[in-house]
């Protein structure tokens, strides 16, 4: 398994996360609605999250019971480094993810698509992502919707 590198602007990203004051707060209906919409677009589990230092924390989530996972195994830690939607159609066919514990054990991720959420200054706060237990592809319309 290959863990993602930290963004070059990690210190600024952490500062921005603190400024938005969204971490470790109670769930909010608006964020749950956004994740439900993303799940409908793909028909899969999904999570809207804001990354925190050594872990990823779910601000909203549909279809998963976890509230957070280690950043070292996070697919979203890879997605936040991308300028657009990051897609892994089949995690078992992707060498950097095939032995990831989130693939080899619960929640048994086989598909991942995540779009980074950036501040106006370009700091990646987190991702809106869709996961599934089956390999999948996204159409151009689904990518645009995500």
Q: Which of 57, 35, 41 is nearest to 125 (CA)?
A: 57
Q: Is the model's pLDDT at 19 over the cut of 50?
A: yes
The share of the chain scoring above pLDDT 90, in percent, equals 20
Average pLDDT over residues 57-84: 76
Tell me the domains of the chain and their CATH numbers: 10-145 (3.30.450.40)
pTM above 0.85, yes or no: no
Average pLDDT, the chain: 77
Residues 79-138 pLDDT 10s: 888 888 999 999 999 999 999 999 999 989 999 998 888 888 887 777 888 888 999 998
Confidence of residue 48 (pLDDT cuts 50, 70, 90): very low
Q: What is the pLDDT of residue 128?
A: 83
């Amino acid at each position: 398994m290959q863990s993602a590198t930290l963004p070059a602007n990690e210190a600024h990203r952490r500062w921005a996360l603190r400024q938005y004051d969204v971490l470790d707060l109670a769930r909010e209906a608006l964020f749950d609605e956004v994740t439900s919409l993303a799940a409908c677009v793909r028909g899969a589990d999904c999570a809207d999250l804001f990354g925190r230092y050594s872990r990823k924390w779910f601000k909203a989530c549909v279809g998963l019971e976890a509230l957070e996972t280690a950043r070292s195994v996070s697919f979203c830690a890879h997605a936040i480094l991308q300028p657009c939607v990051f897609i892994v159609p089949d995690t078992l066919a992707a060498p950097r993810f095939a032995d990831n514990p989130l693939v080899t054990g619960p929640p048994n991720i086989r598909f991942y698509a995540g779009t980074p959420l950036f501040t106006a200054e370009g700091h990646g706060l987190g991702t809106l992502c869709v996961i599934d237990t089956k390999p999948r592809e996204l159409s151009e319309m689904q990518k645009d919707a995500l």
